[in-house]
Each structure stands twice: as C-alpha cells, then as structure tokens.
Structure 1
C-alpha cells in the first residue's frame, strides 16, 4: 500500500466515522437510550393471533394487519423460514397456516394450498414441535393427549433435587412453570376449521428402547400424562396455586415476564386458567405490555402491517451504542454520552432474582437486556455496560465508580465452577432437563459459553483484574474451548465469527500474547474465511451444518467482529485493509449500514434474531479502533 493510498484510506475512515456518529446520535431517545427493532419469525405473530382467539379479545383490524405480515413473509415454495434466506421450517409453516386460516383465508387459497403441500412433504403436522402441538391443542386442532407435559408438582422439588425448576435456564424456567398449569387444565377454545390438509396420517413413532435414556424419559412422560388425567386432587391444586404465585411474583413493571414472548404469553394463559379475569390488574398489565411489543408499518405496499417483537433490547443496544460512540472518538464528556450513561446507571438492577438460588450471598448489581427485567439481569449485558461506562468522563465520577465496582463484584461472583460464565445463572449445567420429551426445541439450560465468558474476561482485564484467579480461570476456559479449526463457537451471535470476534480481544486484554498459538490459529481461520469482497459472513445454518461455518454473504456486523479480532491480534496487513475498505464502501450516505441477514441468536439451531442496531454499532466500533491505530491525530467525532 502506497503512502498516498494510506492517507486516502485514513481520510475515508474518518469521514465514515463522522457520518456514523451523526447517524447514531440521531437515533438516540431524548432520555438517553437506543433501541433498534428486533426481528425474528412469524411464529410470534401466529401465536399472538391464537392467544387472542383463545382469550376472546380479537380486534379484526389488528388481526388482518398481522395476517398481512405473515403472508408477506411466505417463501415461493409455500413455506415460512426462521431467518432471511433460510430453508422452510415445518413448525413455523404449520403455525403460519393456522393463523391465516384463523384470519379467514380459505383453505383452497393458492398460498395456503402451497403451504399445506409443503407441510405434508416435510412430515406433516405430526412431526411439528411440542410447542406447536400445544398451541394447536388450545384451539382443538391437535389432542392434548398427544402432548408431553410437565406436572405442576415440579414446584415441590427442592433446589437440590433433579429436574427442579432451577435446573432449567431462566427462559425455560419461566416457560415450563406456566405450561405446567396449562397442560394440566388442557383448555380448548375451538376454531371453525380443521387441520386435515396438514396431516399425513403417519402413525406416532415407536418409543425408544426401555434401556435407553430417551426411552426411560418417554415412558416417564406417559405416566405423567396418565396421572394428569385423574380428577384434580388437593396436592395438584396446591401445586397449581404455588405455580401461579411464583408467576405473579416474577411479573415485571411492564406487565411481562423476563421481557420475552414465550413466558409472557404462557403466563397469561396460566393465570387465565387459574381464574384470573382479563380485568384483573395483573392480566390488564400483561396484555397492555404485550401490545407495546408491536411494530406498526402503516405505509407498507399492499396495506398496513404489524409484527410482534419477541423481546426488546434497550439496555444491550444502549451499552453497545455508547461503547461505539466512544470508540469512534466521541468525547467522553459529550452531552449525548452523558445522557446515555445516566440512563444506564438508573437501570442497574438491585433487586433479588432467581440467580440467587446458586449464589445466595452475592449482592445484586447487574444489568438486564430489557426496559423492565429486575428478576433476570445477565452477565453479558453487565460486562458490556461496564466496558462502556468506564470510558465516560461523568461529572459524578464517584457514582459511576461505585456502580462499576458493584457490577464487577456481581459478575465475577457469577462464575461457574468450570471457570466460564453463563448468561443468567451460575452452574446451570445439568443435562437432565434436555432429556425430557417436552424439550424438543433445545437450549433449555444456560451453561458457560465462549462469547459471554470472553466479554466478562475482557471486562475484568480492563478493570485491572487480569491477574486475579477468577480471570485466569476464565482465560483457561477460553483456551480449552477453542475449536480445532482455530475459531470459537458463538452462543448468542452468528456464530464462529461472533465467538472469535469476542474471544481474541478478551485474551489479548488479559495478557495472552498476540503470538500465542491460539491467537495465531484464530487469525489463520479468519484469513481463510474472508470473502472476495473483503468482508466476512456466516450463515445461521452453521449451527447444524458445519459446511456453513465461517461461510456466508458478507454483513457489516460480522465483518466488524472479524476486524475486532484481527486488530486485537496486531494484524495490519492487506486482510485488515480489505475489511476496512468493505465497511467504508458499503456505508449508506446517511452514515448507517444495511443488513438484511440475521446475525443474532436466541436458541442455536432453532431461533434467530435480527438486531437492527448491530449493523450500526459494530462497524463503528471496528472503524474507530482501526482509526485510533492508524491516524496520526486523535480521532474525535462531531
């Protein structure tokens, strides 16, 4: 690269950063936070339509807007998928078909005929997931007798007992408790059509051998279902009341549960089954809060649309946005920076939560993902918020320092026995819940992951704790969990690019040399997977098809993750220059980036997320770090 090219490149990066900062600042809420839209798949909308039918609260205009959105997402082959570019998914297509029939689309409509044909060709309704079968049982299109169940008596199990509710990840825990009520009461509010077009007539699969683990749990489920058919007895009534009290104790200020759709809607159904009217304050708050999760698109071609966000991510988005602004050279005492810092400081969680079952003596001080989630702060959000706030020149420095010290203590205290960190709980590693027939959707536990552990290790290192025993154990965990190809698996982002982009900066921050074999292997892996256009991309199918690992169309966020790893590793050659040039070349005139593909992960292999803010904050982050290395003058934003 010539000196003239280098100077021109530096100017291009500076201009890109300036435009990006202006764009990001324009999206900040007056109260100081950022929140991008969070896209998933149409099961959110289909299940909302089914919920409103069951509760008798259908608003026809709203239902048609949701149905119009579902129709807009159908693939040419008749199916619906779980992310842009994905192949069709059986359960998603089944739920979409049922929702459109509920909205009044005739069975012989061309789009529904295509959908039903695709469903039958891929195993039929019989092969759909457990949750899909449960939703259809609620409206009389499937039999509760064919659904696995969790008995409400699970509430009686102490925290040390196998299969107690605290062995489940927090998202699964908040789902199975209400479902234990729903699957016991087995409500049915029939619809005026049947599911015959989706059925193949295939008989149920035979049980696995009795001597296998799967076979034992399958037969246990049969026994539980038979027990559930008995008339309600005092023990079961007591268990159901205890479950309902557990649910109500965890309702958040916004009316929801955990800030995510599954426990929210199942908790509504459970309370409804326990006799809570829709006018009860808890139910009114729950339904009103759920309405706030809708995104309205009034001017869409073909008519207004609306779709439901599975969750909202303002704390995560604000922490990342604040860090990106600072990386881009925005002054640490900039008014917009201070507004973001003040909002984050006010969001620190001090309430008790389920994580205290494993860590009863640890003072609460983390951050959660959503606007209102005081029960389930997580180590990932907390680490990223600490990394952002520590760079702010706040006028009340003592307030910030106190909040950070408490957050670091909480996060370090959440380390699991193996040295890594899970997101919401410590030592949530029992495999037993994953064996139940009920759990065919995966990811019902919260074991340590490379991306979360890396964020915590990086936070600890920058907070001066690199030599602590906890940080060294975290580094050892990361080194032990490197993949054979040199990458790291990404639990909460897609996929090996996310894991690798998190781990390499953490290792280097913690004192692992850039010449360490693990770092060099990661650099070699990134070099091998750079696309011809200079960017990086990884298709979400990499979670179940290794041929896609590190492979896919370039995206701004994944390109930035790769660059963050390379910059931390000390790379400054053509590979980095091509990546930086790709980000500069693909930036929009308004300073943002486009990213149609999803790069976020809810449940690997099952549920994926399109974070609107990722396409903005991570390219800024990477460009800012590059500019700070190459610019002869300090880089400052507007």
Structure 2
C-alpha cells in the first residue's frame, strides 16, 4: 500500500523516541490549561499576499508541528495526552476516599487547591471552560470542600453557597449528585429513582433490560443496583453537613415532587408511564421478595466482577470504577481487600498531579490520540514506513480486541476485531476508534502485508456488522436507539442510550473510501441515506462526540468526499454554506458547549485551533481549497501557532454527554491543525490528498472490495 511521497516533508526523520513520554497522571498542569508558552504575536508571523507564499509559510509551520508531535511519542509507540473533564470528578474522588477512610492528607490538600482554583467568579463551578456555574458541579464541590475541612465561613464557601441557593439548592441537582449525597445522609434515598437489582434479571428480549441502555450506562448502573439494594449511609459530623444548601428546610422538602419526578402535562406519555413504574418499584423495594433480591444481587455482583478482571477497571471509566468500589464496600468487602485495592490503584492512575494541585481525568485516550495523530502525520507527508508511524502501527495492531464483549447481544453475527478508546477495555471496543484505527493502518506501509490486511479485514467485518438498521453507527452497540428510556426519572442526563450518530457514520464512510469502496457499496448507500435524513435544516450535522455542529459537519463532509459523493449536490452545498457563514472575523471557527442546550448558538463561540481545523478540513473535503474562507482559516492557524510548534487551547471541544459532561482533549489543538495544514498543502501542491492516492491504489487493487463481494 505504499504510495509516492509528494510533499517536501517526506524525508523528515527526527529523534522522537529518545525521551520518555510522561504519562498523564504526572503532567504538571493547572485545572484549566497546561501550556503556558505565549503565542506568537500576529506581527511575528508572515502574512503572505499570494497563495504560493502562504503555501511556503504553511510548510514551515507544518514542520514545526511535526517536530513537536514526534517528540511526544512514547517509546512503546503510542501517543497519549491528558483528557480533562471538570471539577466533578475531583469532588467525587474526595467523597470516595472519605467514604472508605482512605484519605491521603497531602493529596487531599492538592485536590482542595484544585477545586479552589476551578471556582468561577460568581462562586460556583462550571462543567466546561468559560461556562456558567452548574448546580450539580457546585454542590459537589462545596460538599467535598466541607468534607475536607474547609470552613463554611470562608469567603469562597460563602460565595458558593449564595450562587447554589440562587440556582435552587440541592433539590435542583441531578440524580448522580443526589446518589453521592445520599451515601453521606445529605439527601434521602427515598428521593432517588428506583433502581432495584432485580432489573438485571430481566431477559434480553424484555424492554428495560440492562442491554437496552448504552455501555457507559450499563457499567455505571450495575454497581448502582447493588448499592441501591443496601442504600448505605456514612454518618458524618454535623459540621460537615450541607443543610444550608437547601432552599427550604430539608425536612420540609417534598422529595418525590421535584426533580427528577416532574410529570409530563400530557396524560399519556413515556414520562408519566415511567413515573408510574418507578412508584411501583419504589413500593416493591420497601418489601422485596428476599430470595429474588438475593439472587439478583448475586447476579449483579457476578456480572460486575467478571468485567473487573484484567487491567483498567470496570468499563475503564472513572464513574463505573468508583461505583464498583462502592458496590464492593456495600457487599461487605473490607477496604483492604485485594479487589478494592486493585480498583483504587486503577483509579489512582487517573490522577493528574503537580506540586500544588491534583485532579482526576475520566479515563485515558491513547488509541484515539494515536490513530488520529497517525492519520495527520501521513497526510503531512511522512513516509508511510517512517519508524515513528510503524511503531505506532504495530502498537495499534497489538490492541485489536480478541474477546467477545457486550456488543454480541445486539450484533450476534459479529466476531471480535474492533478497537477500544483506552489502554485496556477489551470488552468494549467502539465503532469510532475502530474506523479511525483502520484508516491509519491502511495508510501505513507495513513489512508484513498479510498481517496488516488480516487485521483490517477483522476490524472491518466487526464494524460493518455493527451498522444499525437506520443506516448509521452508534459507538458501542447496534440498534441501541430506544429513546423513550431517556424519559425515565433516573435518566435526567438524557444519555442513557447509544443511538446512531452522524459523526461516526461520516467516519465509517471515510474509512470505506480509503479502502477502495465507493457509494455503490450497500452499507455506504444506507449510511448516505441516514446522513441525508440526519442533516439539520441549516445544513450542518449534530456532533455527538465533539462540540458540536462544526464537529459533526466536518466528519460528514470528510466521509462523503472519501466515498465519492457528488460534492455539487444541494445538501452538500448547504453544509458548505453553513461553514462559511459561521467563520469568525479573525479567520477561525469556534463553538461553545452551550450550543447543545441552545441550537441557535450553533457555530457561535471563541475561535479555537481544533474547531478551526475541523471547519477547514470540512471545506477542503468539499472542494473549497481556493476559497477565501480557507485562506483566512489557514492564516488564522499559522498566526496562532506557538514557537514550539504547538497551539494553545483551553476550551472543551470534546463531548462526553451533551449538556452534562464535556472533555478537553489536550492534543485536539495539536494534531487537527496539523491535519488541516497538511490537507491544504497537499491539495494546493498536487490537487489531491495523500489519502486520495492510497484510496486510488486500494480501488485499483480491489483487494478489500473483492473480499466483501465474495462474502
């Protein structure tokens, strides 16, 4: 699969692996950003007046970026940067350690420093950089600080209390916050939606069984079933309580009349039906059938313990890992039991510690960082057999899953072959990572072609088997689209399920094009139909896993170009127009997380390096390389690059759960700008992308196409 290197960067060979990459837990960061180098002033960057001068400048800045990124590679082959969330994880971590009587005073002091630094000017805590105070994040932070011994009379606590009460107090927090408070008797278990462990006994064919919800809900929920059954309470001193955060006295609160138990004004609705079911389950839980309850707890425990084997923790995400510890504790395991010790050690790996502060990241993102960066570096002109790329490729090959996971329930015909997001999450590969890894592998020139092709085939078979009946792809399961479950009072975060998304469908189309398929391939036809139906009226596409409409629109346009769609079609032109209309005066693009709650803010927000790069990639894929919008966007990226070859980016541009949980990938602002600059350079120099050459070769060889024609 070797193609000719056609840029001036083809001979870049840097000593990139000589220094050991420091893993995320040891990064020295502030809660908001880790890069402190001052950006180059606009006057110090050339402002070319013609395209060839711009191309020359672009090439220089690409070289700086490549040098910077190659020097970040771990000697084992992967790249990984910090994945930052918000203060809630650190608040919960303080609570967890207090619950278990496992407090490290020095680390707790650093967590307190982090929470203090993360506080907004109005006294609350946000869930994304630059965002407004959030009631749930603020209550968690306030309670965590009190548990850690911070006086409620300190100015930061007085300010926090004032804004929390203005936002409605404890009663207005989300379900997960209320569960965390109930563990310390700061909220009544009576006010938690009913989640009895008997839920796990529902057969797979029955609506509401644990496989009706997403992977992330499942691994969080099953330990909660165990916790809910015993409803443990840790008594704390009165001075640590948060009664002052109730707008009305706590004993006067009508606990099952407020959130999340509000009724739908329509008499007949899923919401009201689930409220009736919740009421019935609540009555049952007061006097459960003891033999059935015991059997359910055992089954939930077995399910959880099976998935805690190996490394990385339950589901390889912090909320599930923490719940697994609490569930074991509720079952009577001592805090020094090896299972609890192992789980806590896995959580400790998520710590990001500096001299003064400590916060927690939700998980690691090495496969995602590595596959995206590999694609960007290939497009930049590095040899497809460059040592850094082959080392990354072999590392990715070693991470292909070989075990059957929960996905087998929704796709029984599928066989293992996908990739997960984290270092270790064997049972939960996802379609997004799998598509981008396969793209990266297909672009490399491995010495062992047979191994390369077999890995790609296994991955592609798994990925195509995961296509949902609506033509799209979800992340972890097939046809996990029963949206009515988001009306359950437990699901106030509205992210209980894992439905098809436009961004992943675009990614799979991009992969299929790279492998030599075109729009006549039946799965591609179904995906294109899905995307046409999913397009917003303004021409954009919703971004489920990145913020937001810029992310979705880039992903789709890249896929449509790769698979061979006619770019002059009206629906594509509409998307191009939307991207052009949302460009900022500084030449960049930006969009706030607020667009998830208010779609009228689509494409509105301060310019960021990653979102500028996404918009540019979308326009370049749509044939707009000669447009003034692209020129201004490229100039914007060049102006904002720092002297070390990196870009500054403080904003959260990744999405965990819309409206609830956002992510700041510390290298989104690094490899996406390189990718955009590289695409511009390729198209201006050769009128085609490096990826186009690889796709052309694969299409001529017909190796993958003929394989699927036979099967």
Bin for the TM-score computed over the shorter chain: over 0.9
- Write the distance in 2 (CA, Å) between the matches of 1:596 and 1:296: 18
Give 1:277-356 correspondences, 5 Å limit.
277-298=334-355, 304-356=356-408
Q: Which residue of the partner structure matches residue 258 of structure 1?
A: 315
State the 1:523 CA deviation: 0.8
> Would you say 1:196 and 2:249 are equivalent positions?
no
State the 1:231 CA deviation: 6.4
- Write the distance in 1 (CA, Å) between the matches of 2:599 and 2:555: 20
Q: Is the 8 Å Cα contact of residues 538 and 558 (structure 1) preserved in structure 2? A: yes
- Write the distance in 1 (CA, Å) between the matches of 2:69 and 2:487: 45
1:27 to 66, 72, 79: 72
> Would you say 1:583 and 2:583 are equivalent positions?
no
- Write the distance in 2 (CA, Å) between the matches of 1:11 and 1:634: 18
Once the two structures are superposed, residues 96-129 of structure 1 have per-residue CA deviations (whole angstroms, 9 ceiling, x without a partner) of 0000001110111111111111111111111111
Q: Which residue of the partner structure matches residue 427 of structure 2?
A: 375
State the 1:70 CA deviation: 0.6
TM-score, normalization: structure 2?
A: 0.87
Give 1:233-272 correspondences, 5 Å limit.
233-272=290-329
> Would you say 1:384 and 2:436 are equivalent positions?
yes
Q: Which residue of the partner structure matches residue 455 of structure 1?
A: 507
State the 1:546 CA deviation: 2.2
Q: Which residue of the partner structure matches residue 9 of structure 2?
A: none
Give 1:165-176 correspondences, 5 Å limit.
165-176=210-221
1:511 to 544, 560, 564: 564
State the 1:518 CA deviation: 1.4
Q: Is the 8 Å Cα contact of residues 80 and 366 (structure 2) preserved in structure 1? A: yes
Q: Which residue of the partner structure matches residue 88 of structure 1?
A: 133
1:399 to 437, 445, 451: 451
1:630 to 681, 684, 688: 684
Q: Is the 8 Å Cα contact of residues 149 and 180 (structure 1) preserved in structure 2? A: no
1:12 to 57, 70, 81: 57
Stretch deviating more after TM superposition (225-234 or 149-158): 225-234
> Would you say 1:65 and 2:118 are equivalent positions?
no
Q: Which residue of the partner structure matches residue 361 of structure 1?
A: 413
- Write the distance in 1 (CA, Å) between the matches of 2:687 and 2:130: 43
Q: Which residue of the partner structure matches residue 558 of structure 1?
A: 611
Q: Is the 8 Å Cα contact of residues 588 and 612 (structure 2) preserved in structure 1? A: yes
Q: Which residue of the partner structure matches residue 545 of structure 1?
A: 598
SS in 1 for 2:282: helix
State the 1:213 CA deviation: 3.1
Q: Is the 8 Å Cα contact of residues 80 and 93 (structure 1) preserved in structure 2? A: yes
Q: Is the 8 Å Cα contact of residues 487 and 494 (structure 2) preserved in structure 1? A: no
State the 1:271 CA deviation: 1.6
Q: Which residue of the partner structure matches residue 605 of structure 1?
A: 659
- Write the distance in 2 (CA, Å) between the matches of 1:581 and 1:231: 66
Q: Is the 8 Å Cα contact of residues 37 and 612 (structure 1) preserved in structure 2? A: yes
SS in 1 for 2:655: strand
Once the two structures are superposed, residues 379-425 of structure 1 have per-residue CA deviations (whole angstroms, 9 ceiling, x without a partner) of 00000001111111111121111101111111011000111100100
Q: Is the 8 Å Cα contact of residues 328 and 624 (structure 1) preserved in structure 2? A: yes
- Write the distance in 1 (CA, Å) between the matches of 2:323 and 2:74: 31
SS in 1 for 2:50: helix
State the 1:232 CA deviation: 6.9
State the 1:255 CA deviation: 4.5
Once the two structures are superposed, residues 301-341 of structure 1 have per-residue CA deviations (whole angstroms, 9 ceiling, x without a partner) of xxx10000011100000001111111111111111111100
- Write the distance in 2 (CA, Å) between the matches of 1:212 and 1:333: 58
- Write the distance in 2 (CA, Å) between the matches of 1:20 and 1:250: 40
Q: Is the 8 Å Cα contact of residues 475 and 510 (structure 1) preserved in structure 2? A: no
- Write the distance in 1 (CA, Å) between the matches of 2:219 and 2:242: 30
Once the two structures are superposed, residues 52-83 of structure 1 have per-residue CA deviations (whole angstroms, 9 ceiling, x without a partner) of 11111111111111111011000111000001
SS in 2 for 1:78: coil
- Write the distance in 2 (CA, Å) between the matches of 1:66 and 1:273: 26
Give 1:402-551 correspondences, 5 Å limit.
402-466=454-518, 467-551=520-604
Q: Which residue of the partner structure matches residue 620 of structure 2?
A: 567
SS in 2 for 1:631: helix
- Write the distance in 2 (CA, Å) between the matches of 1:434 and 1:307: 30
Q: Is the 8 Å Cα contact of residues 163 and 432 (structure 1) preserved in structure 2? A: no
- Write the distance in 1 (CA, Å) between the matches of 2:448 and 2:71: 26
Once the two structures are superposed, residues 547-599 of structure 1 have per-residue CA deviations (whole angstroms, 9 ceiling, x without a partner) of 31111111111011111111111112211100011111111111110101110
- Write the distance in 2 (CA, Å) between the matches of 1:411 and 1:633: 31
SS in 1 for 2:490: coil
Q: Which residue of the partner structure matches residue 39 of structure 2?
A: none
Q: Is the 8 Å Cα contact of residues 683 and 689 (structure 2) preserved in structure 1? A: no
State the 1:635 CA deviation: 11
SS in 2 for 1:602: strand
- Write the distance in 2 (CA, Å) between the matches of 1:237 and 1:229: 15
Q: Is the 8 Å Cα contact of residues 252 and 258 (structure 1) preserved in structure 2? A: no
SS in 2 for 1:438: helix
- Write the distance in 1 (CA, Å) between the matches of 2:70 and 2:205: 49
> Would you say 1:115 and 2:167 are equivalent positions?
no
Q: Which residue of the partner structure matches residue 82 of structure 2?
A: 37
Q: Is the 8 Å Cα contact of residues 359 and 414 (structure 1) preserved in structure 2? A: yes
Decide whether aligned partners of structure 1 residues 305 and 90 sit closer, same or farther in structure 2, where only a CA change above 3 A counts.
same
SS in 2 for 1:307: strand
Q: Is the 8 Å Cα contact of residues 48 and 54 (structure 2) preserved in structure 1? A: no
Q: Is the 8 Å Cα contact of residues 485 and 497 (structure 2) preserved in structure 1? A: yes
Which sections of structure 2, spanning at least 5 residues, go unmatched?
A: 1-46, 691-711
State the 1:92 CA deviation: 0.4
- Write the distance in 2 (CA, Å) between the matches of 1:87 and 1:497: 22
- Write the distance in 1 (CA, Å) between the matches of 2:211 and 2:575: 36
> Would you say 1:55 and 2:100 are equivalent positions?
yes
SS in 1 for 2:97: helix
- Write the distance in 2 (CA, Å) between the matches of 1:632 and 1:483: 33
Decide whether aligned partners of structure 1 residues 252 and 627 sit closer, same or farther in structure 2, where only a CA change above 3 A counts.
farther
- Write the distance in 2 (CA, Å) between the matches of 1:36 and 1:385: 17
- Write the distance in 1 (CA, Å) between the matches of 2:563 and 2:269: 44
SS in 2 for 1:258: helix
- Write the distance in 1 (CA, Å) between the matches of 2:288 and 2:534: 50
Q: Is the 8 Å Cα contact of residues 312 and 423 (structure 2) preserved in structure 1? A: no
Once the two structures are superposed, residues 7-65 of structure 1 have per-residue CA deviations (whole angstroms, 9 ceiling, x without a partner) of 21111110011000000001100001011111111110111111111111111111111
- Write the distance in 2 (CA, Å) between the matches of 1:413 and 1:439: 28
Q: Which residue of the partner structure matches residue 222 of structure 1?
A: 279
